[in-house]
Amino acid sequence: MNTIHLASAFSKIPDYWHPRIAGELNDSYVKLVKLKGEFVLHHHELEDELFLVIAGTLVIQTRSGDLILHPGEFAIIPRGVEHRPIAEDEVHILLIEPKTTVNTGNVENERTVQADWLDGLEHGAG
C-alpha cells in the first residue's frame, strides 16, 4: 500500500493527453493525466469512465450538452456515450476506468496511446 500525493504525482507528468497509471482497483486502473486543448470525439463500447477534476476546468462535450467540471467535481461517462474532453487551460484529471480502456475509445489516431505507469510506481502499487 502506498500513499500518492497528487500534486507531486502530476509534477512528474511531462506531457498532455498521455495517462499515467497511479494504481489498480479491482479490474480498473486509477490514472492521472494532464490535459490541454481539445481531444478527439470518441466513445467506449464496453467501458464507463470516471473523470475527477483535481485542478483547472474541464469541458466534456456530449451530444446531449456540455458538462463543465471544476476542481473537486466528477462525472461518469457511460459506455457508448460520445464525448470530447476540452481543456482551455491546463487541467489535471484523475480517471478511474477498466484496464481494457483505450484512451481514444473507438477512434485510432496519433492521440491513441498506451497508459504507462507513473514514474516511481511499480506495477501493483497504489
Cβ atoms < 10 Å from Cβ of 22 = 23
Q: The whole model's pTM is what?
A: 0.88
In the numeric block, which cell numbers belong to residue 109? Answer: 489516431
Rounded-to-integer distance, Cα 94 and Cα 34, Å = 9
* Average pLDDT, integer, range 11-36: 94
pLDDT digits (tens, 9 = 90+) for 32-72: 999 999 998 888 899 999 999 999 999 999 999 999 999 99
Q: How far apart are CA 23 and CA 101, in angstroms?
A: 15
Kindly tell me if the per-residue pLDDT of 74 is higher than 80.
yes
| pLDDT mean over 82-87 | 96
CA angle, 31 then 35 then 39, to 5° = 105
Instruction: Report the mean per-residue pLDDT for the chain.
Output: 89
Query: For residue 124, what pLDDT is reported?
Result: 47
Q: Hey, what domains does the chain have and what are their CATH numbers?
A: 6-117 (2.60.120.10)
Give the pLDDT score at 126. 45
Check residue 88 and give its pLDDT.
97
